[in-house]
Structure 1
């Protein structure tokens, strides 16, 4: 039996309030959504309750063992505009995570749109997507939730709490991004001076454009679109690197200046 609107709102409200107050949650607030459809109902209700402007979206892969059951290869979540830090020339950004909850840094190729993305005659084809993109940047996801076990609970839990997102860093443009192969688009993440992961855009299943395409289709099914100026975190390339407040990350991408991320504990919002 699908969840009632009251149950959906109760889950969404618990996550929104925990994020607003920067307090941890000890358990998932209610029964886990049984399907991604239910989880996206929670996500949409959370966006309605929070009311902050959306500045973009994150995309993450679904574990191969769960794809058939859930009917999806990717999940998505919103990024609030006030949680986006921009470093067009590299440098350092301060970001916030939920102390006592889940927190991680992820190196991700980040698409920035120059105009609204609207489906063409063949849907969201590569040509349609490329025509709307301004550039692909070096970037990083700030993954965080008030619930420490969110990732372990699986995709429906992750989707329910904003896709486990607490922000993004948009770094410099990747030089020559239009002509590079996925293997050539390499990345590396360091935390507190130690290399914790290396990878490339090839680690994102079928590449960053496939992430954008599946996101666009997901949003269309929910009555939403990608707008000019929106960013898209296309998927982790070096792994999920758990951190605590006080950590310092460094993201390095071929063809772009490196940038650093100083992790702080989130404070209650007014």
Structure 2
């Protein structure tokens, strides 16, 4: 099941071909979901640039035994916002996609199992910089969110890329609710929030990820980029959409959404 499902998921992403549903049985546990994710990642051969962290849907947390999920970020879909030029991103036509304002960690040093247990307090000095940014959530599966968190985990955690935006140099001196974010799609404000919307804040997300990666025999590496979780909600986008993500007091950027093409 794992190999066949992963092959179908990767084939859909590689060919930019939409899927009407999950290819096979939706995983009922995290072990299976992550095993599929690992195989999709292996098949892709893409270079890891970091990780995303997100919240598991509340109704599934007891069943899955966790409140957060993780997935890989790849070098070829990691963009840096520069000046006033919109960042050009791509999503799957006929699939599901969203724009999510997030706070983004750039890691300053390696994190290995030798440092466990990880806590937000112990990881503050591991952050080289904190930025405003965005996840470009994307899957070739139509309505993947409705299939649940395990389906999203399997399909590369519903990730289509990440944008790194303005640096937040004074983040250690700010309360979480002072780090404000705003998302607009097609010139309409669709969500407002702050870093407190991420349970425990960005460092709690980093602590989860460090534990997740090291328990599986890996490590987080200096220079990696980490999305820490949505702050304004999950906002639908399609090819042709135009998004704007703002971090008042620090900066903003725009994204121009196109259609993914076969790899």
**TM-score band w.r.t. shorter chain:** over 0.9
Give me the whole-angstrom Cα distance separating, in 1, the residues matched to 2:141 and 2:83: 34
Secondary structure of 1:108 counterpart: strand
Cα distance in 1, alignment partners of residues 11 and 217 from structure 2? 25
Q: Equivalent residue of 2:165, what SS? A: strand
d(CA) in 1 for partners of 2:98 and 2:253? 16
Superposed displacement of residue 175, structure 1: 3.4
| Residue of 29, 47, 51 corresponding to 1:57 | 51
1:125 to partner: Cα distance: 2.4
**Residue 232 of structure 1 is aligned with which of 226, 235, 252?**
226
- Aligned twin of 1:214: 208
Shift of 1:121: 5.0
Indicate the SS of the match to 2:177: coil
Write out aligned runs for 1:81-230 (5 A): 81-87=75-81, 91-119=85-113, 123-230=117-224
Following superposition, the deviation at residue 222 of structure 1 comes to 2.1
TM superposition shift of 1:257: 1.4
> CA, structure 1 residues 83+137, in 2 after alignment: closer, same or farther (shift >3 Å)?
same
* Cα shift at 1:88: 5.4
Map Cα deviations across residues 121-165 of structure 1 (whole Å, 9 max, x no partner): 552123432222111101000000000121100011000000000
Structure 1 residue 208: deviation in Å?
Answer: 1.0
Which consecutive residues of structure 2, in runs of 5 or more, have no partner in the other structure?
A: none
How many residue pairs were aligned? 263
Q: Is the 8 A contact 1:88 1:170 kept in 2?
A: no
Q: Which runs of 5+ in 1 are unaligned?
A: 1-6
Write the distance in 2 (CA, Å) between the matches of 1:217 and 1:202.
21
**In the alignment, structure 1 residue 79 sits paired with structure 2 residue 73:** yes
Q: CA deviation at 1:91?
A: 4.1
Matched, 1:19 2:16: no
Q: Which whole-Å CA distance do the structure 1 matches of 2:16 and 2:97 have between them?
A: 13
Q: Deviations over 1:225-261 (max 9, x none)?
A: 2111111111100110001101110000133211000
Q: Do the aligned residues in 1 keep the contact of 2:112 with 2:218 (CA within 8 Å)?
A: no
1:61 and 1:40 mapped to 2: Cα distance?
15
1:4 equivalent in structure 2: none
